Structure 1
C-alpha cells in the first residue's frame, strides 16, 4: 500500500486488516498518493467501517466479500468496486467526496444508501442486484451527484424517495421480479434529467410524483409497467424539459401526469399502451404543458384525459388509435394551437365540452364510437376553425352553445337521423362547405328537433355576411314555417296563409301574383254584370256615379286603405255581392299579411 502495490489474486484478507489499513494507513512513499487496491482477493470476516473517516481512495476489483461491508455514517474520499461479489452493502448515512463506483458487481442483498451523500456519481453500470427481500436499492433522502445504472439488472424495487441527484441514467437497465418498481416521489433531479431508453425494462411502475426535474424524461424504446396499474406516475411533477416516450415505447399500464407542470413537449409518438389502470391510458387532467402534446400514430387502450389541461403548442393525435373504450376527454381544456385528430380512431367518444381552442379542431377522416350514446360532445366549446369531416359518427353529435369563427364541414359527415345532432346556440361567422342551402336546412332540421330559432338566425347572419341575401331569406322563411307548426291551430293557419301568399315576406312576388290573379278574375266576372239593359252593376245613386269600369271597381275592392270612388258607387246583388265580399276580405287579409311579413323581413333576426 505504501509503494502502490496491491493485494493479488487468490489471496484471502481478513476484513479487520482492511479496516486497520484504512484507518491507520502507513505513510506513502515519496511522490505517491496513498490508496488501497485489491484485485481478485477474498475478504473474509466482517469489514466494519461504520462511522470511520477514511481519507485514502479505495479500489477493489474482482473481489469476493464473505459478509456485507458496513459503511454506515462513514466518510470516504472515493470508493471503487469493480466486478466484485457482495452479500449486500450497508452505507446508510455515508458521505463520499467523489464517486462511488459499483461497476459490474453482483450484490446478493440490498444496497442501502439511505441518507447518503455522494459528491460524485453513483456508478451501477452492469451491476446485478438480487436481494433476498423485496428491496434492491434504498437511497431514500440521499444526496447524489448522479446515478448511472446503464445495463444494470435488479430483481427488486428501488426506493429513491426525496432523493436529490443531478441526473438518472437507466439506459438498457432491467428492473424485474415480483417487486419490480421505482418509488421516487418528491425527488429532485438536476438538468441531467431522467433517462430510461434503449431496451430499458421495468416490471412495475416508475413513480416520480411531485418531483422536480431540471432536465428531460426520456423513455425511448422502453417497456415498463404492470397490467391494470399505472406504468408511469408523474402526478404534480415540475419538469423543465420534454417528456419523451417514443418511438417503440410500451407501457403496460397508465401514464399519469395529473397536475404536472411541463415546460417542454409531451411526446408519445408511436407509443404503445396496454392494460391501463382506472386512470385510463394517459391522464393529463389539470396539467400545464408549454410545448404541446404530440401523440401521432400511437396505439393506446383506454381513454386520454385532458380535463382542465392548459396546453401551449397544440395537441396532435393524427393517426392515433384509442381502443377499449378509448375516449378523448378534454372538458374545460385550454389549448393554444390546434387539436388535430385527423385519421385517428376512437372507440369511445370525443368530449371537448367547454374547451377553449385558440387554433383549429381538425377531425378530417377521424372515426368515433358510442353508437348507442354520444360520439362527439362539444357543448360550450370555442375554436378558431372547426373542420368537421370525420367518418359519419354512429352516435349523437352535440354542438349546443359552441362557437367557432369558421365552420368547414361536409354533408356526409353529419348524422342523418333526427335528434342525432344538437345545434342550439351554435354560432359561427363563416362557412366553408359542400352543402347547398337545401341540405343546410335539412341539417338544421336534424339538429333542432324542437324548432329552436337560434341556429336559423345564426345561419342567416352567416349567409348575409357572405352577400347571399336570397338564401338568407329562404332560411328565415323555413324558421318561421317550423315555428308556426309548433303553435296552436289558428296560428298554424295564419302561418300557412302568410307562407302561401308572400312566403313570410321573403317572396313578395307571390303577393303581386295574388293581387293580379284576383284583379283579373274579378274584372272578368264583373265585366259580364248587367243592370237591366245597361252593362255593369246598378248604381246606388242614379245621377251620382262614375262611368262603369269593372277593372277599377275590382281594384277599389282589393285596396281597402284607399278609396277610388268605385266601391261605394255601385250596388252588387246576388253572386256579384258574394264576389265583392270575397275581394274585400282578400284585400284586407293580403294587406295585413304583407304588413306583418314586411315588418318581419325588415327587422334583423
Structure 2
C-alpha cells in the first residue's frame, strides 16, 4: 500500500508507526464518549486494511521499535489478522470499531483495546506473548478467546458485554490458558461467561461484578483450574454459577455477594477441589447450593447465607468456620434435598470434635439418629421415640442414670411394701428392698438378694421389667462413661 493512497488521518498513523509514536484523535480527552464514534468524520477514520498493512509489512526505522498506537479513531472495515504473526505492539484505545476484529490464530506480542467500543472480538486459538487489555471496553457482540494462550494478564476491568440475540455465551474463554491473572473487577455482562476447561496460573478477580442471565448459566466454569484465588466479593449474579469439577488452589471468596437463580442452582460447585470457600456477610442465596462431592480444606460458611435447599452429599471439609452452636448448623443439614444424608452429619460431628467441642458433636449425632428415625417404618419410629426419651440414643447417659435412680426408687418402694418370699428361709439373708432392686437393675453386680427371694403376682412382672430396663440403661451409662473417658 502506497502512502499516496491514504487519507490525511491514515497518513498520520502511517508516519507514526515506525517510531511507535501515539496518534491521538480525541477532541474531548478522556471525557469523550466513544459510543458516539459512529458519527466521527473522515478526519479521524482509519480503514482496517491500512492497520493490517502496517502490522504485517509496515515501514521500519533502524534503531526504533515500531508500534501501532492510536487513540480515538473510528476503525472501518474488519481488522483481519487471522493466523498472522505480528511483531509490533497493538494499542488501539478509545476507538470505535465498525466491525468485529478477527485475530483468530494470530501471534501477537501485546494487545490493548481499552475504552473501545466493538461489535465483537475474535481471538480464538491465538497466542499473546504479553497481556491483553480490554479494560472498560463495551461489546455489543460475542467476544471469543477460546483456546488462546496469554502469557501475561487478561484485563477486563469494568468491561461491558451487552445481550446478543443469538444463543450462546457473550464471553467465551473456554480452554484459555493465562499464565498470569484474569483481572475483571467491575465486569458487566448480560449473558453467559464460559470458562470451562480454562487454566489460570494466577488469580481470577471478579470483585464487584454484575452478572445477569436469569434462569440460565451466568458463569460456566466447569473444570476450571485456578492456581491462586477466585475472588467474587460483592458480586451480584442473576443466574447459575457453575464450577463443577473445578480446582481452586487458593480461596474462592463470595463474601458480601448476592446470588440469585430461583428454581435452580444459584451456586453449583459439585466435585470441586477448593482450598478455602467463603460464603459470608451476604443475604441467603436465592436458589440451590450444590456442594456434592466437593473437597474443601476450609469452609467459611455462615448459617445466614445458606438457602432453603442444599445438596451436601459426600461433601468433605477439614475445617468449618466460624464456630457456631450445633443448633445453628443443623438446620442446614435438614434442608438437604437428597433427604437423609448420614455423611453430612458425620462430617459436621467430626468438625466439632476436631476443635474439641464434644457437646456439639453429641448433639449432631443425636440429630442424625432422629433424622434416621423419620425414614423408618412406624414400628422403627416407635422404638426410636422410646430410645430418644429414655437415653437420648445413648448420647445422653445422664438421662439414663436419672431413669435408673427413678426405677430404683419405684422398685424399692414397691418391694418395701410387699416383701417377696424367701426361696430358702433358713439360708436367706435379711431382705433389703433397695439392694434387691439394685440386683434386678444392675446386670453385673450381685448383692445376693435376687437369688434368695422370689416375688409373686404383678411384683414378679415388675421384677422382669426392672431386669430388662436395667440391662438397657446400665449399658447406656457404661457406654457414655467409656466414650467420655476415651475422649479425655
**TM-score normalised by L of structure 1:** 0.69
For residues 469-510 of structure 1, give each alpha carbon's deviation from its aligned partner in whole angstroms, at most 9, with x where no partner exists: 111111112112222332334433443333223222221111
Query: By how many angstroms is 1:445 displaced?
Result: 1.1
For residues 21-49 of structure 1, give each alpha carbon's deviation from its aligned partner in whole angstroms, at most 9, with x where no partner exists: xxxxxxxxxxxxxxxxxxxxxxxxxxxxx
Alignment of 1:432-581 (within 5 A): 432-433=321-322, 435-447=324-336, 449-529=338-418, 536-581=419-464
Query: By how many angstroms is 1:399 displaced?
Result: 0.7
Q: Once superposed, what is the RMSD of the aligned Cα atoms? A: 3.3
Alignment of 1:367-378 (within 5 A): 367-378=258-269
Question: What is the distance in 2 between the residues matched to 1:554 and 1:470?
Answer: 33
Deviates further, 164-173 or 342-351: 164-173
Structure 1 position 343 matched with structure 2 position 234: yes
Question: What is the distance in 2 between the residues matched to 1:126 and 1:560?
Answer: 97
| CA 1:504–1:324: 2 relative to 1, 3 Å | closer
Deviates further, 589-598 or 267-276: 589-598
Based on CA coordinates, which of the two structures has the bigger radius of gyration? 1
Structure 1 position 244 matched with structure 2 position 133: yes
Question: What is the distance in 1 between the residues matched to 2:344 and 2:7?
Answer: 77
Alignment of 1:111-260 (within 5 A): 151-154=44-47, 163=56, 167-176=67-76, 180-190=77-87, 192-197=88-93, 199-214=94-109, 216-225=110-119, 231-247=120-136, 249-260=137-148
Question: What is the distance in 2 between the residues matched to 1:375 and 1:562?
Answer: 60
For residues 132-161 of structure 1, give each alpha carbon's deviation from its aligned partner in whole angstroms, at most 9, with x where no partner exists: xxxxxxxxxxxxxxxxx9944339898779
Question: What is the distance in 1 between the residues matched to 2:234 and 2:387?
Answer: 48
> When the two structures are aligned, how many residues end up with a matched partner?
458
Query: By how many angstroms is 1:449 displaced?
Result: 4.7
| CA 1:357–1:522: 2 relative to 1, 3 Å | same
Structure 1 SS opposite 2:407: helix
Matching residue of 1:387: 278
Query: By how many angstroms is 1:412 displaced?
Result: 1.7
| CA 1:509–1:160: 2 relative to 1, 3 Å | farther
For residues 568-589 of structure 1, give each alpha carbon's deviation from its aligned partner in whole angstroms, at most 9, with x where no partner exists: 2112122322322221222233
| CA 1:160–1:463: 2 relative to 1, 3 Å | farther
Higher RCO (CA-CA < 8 Å; seq separation 6+)? 2
For residues 274-309 of structure 1, give each alpha carbon's deviation from its aligned partner in whole angstroms, at most 9, with x where no partner exists: 134544221111111111111111222211111111
Contact 2:132 2:154 in 1 (8 A): yes
Deviates further, 433-442 or 256-265: 433-442
Matching residue of 1:286: 175
Contact 1:102 1:123 in 2 (8 A): no
| CA 1:442–1:125: 2 relative to 1, 3 Å | closer
Matching residue of 1:45: none
Question: What is the distance in 2 between the residues matched to 1:492 and 1:201?
Answer: 72
Question: What is the distance in 1 between the residues matched to 2:417 and 2:338?
Answer: 53
Match of 2:247 among 335, 342, 356: 356
Structure 2 SS opposite 1:359: strand
Contact 1:168 1:194 in 2 (8 A): yes
Query: By how many angstroms is 1:391 displaced?
Result: 2.6
Deviates further, 434-443 or 493-502: 493-502
**TM-score normalised by L of structure 2:** 0.85
| CA 1:206–1:294: 2 relative to 1, 3 Å | same
Structure 1 SS opposite 2:437: helix
Question: What is the distance in 1 between the residues matched to 2:123 and 2:323?
Answer: 45
Query: By how many angstroms is 1:596 displaced?
Result: 7.5
Question: What is the distance in 1 between the residues matched to 2:441 and 2:299?
Answer: 48
Question: What is the distance in 1 between the residues matched to 2:54 and 2:430?
Answer: 113
Query: By how many angstroms is 1:202 displaced?
Result: 0.9
Question: What is the distance in 2 between the residues matched to 1:164 and 1:490?
Answer: 87
Query: By how many angstroms is 1:170 displaced?
Result: 4.1
For residues 421-474 of structure 1, give each alpha carbon's deviation from its aligned partner in whole angstroms, at most 9, with x where no partner exists: 111111222222264210101111112652111111111111111111111111
Q: Which has the higher helix share?
A: 2
Contact 2:55 2:86 in 1 (8 A): no
Query: By how many angstroms is 1:395 displaced?
Result: 1.0
| CA 1:164–1:467: 2 relative to 1, 3 Å | farther
Question: What is the distance in 2 between the residues matched to 1:161 and 1:599?
Answer: 84
Contact 2:118 2:138 in 1 (8 A): yes
Question: What is the distance in 2 between the residues matched to 1:329 and 1:351?
Answer: 5
Contact 1:213 1:238 in 2 (8 A): yes
Structure 1 SS opposite 2:189: strand
Structure 1 SS opposite 2:233: coil
Structure 1 SS opposite 2:200: strand
Question: What is the distance in 2 between the residues matched to 1:125 and 1:572?
Answer: 112
Deviates further, 154-163 or 310-319: 154-163
Contact 2:155 2:184 in 1 (8 A): yes
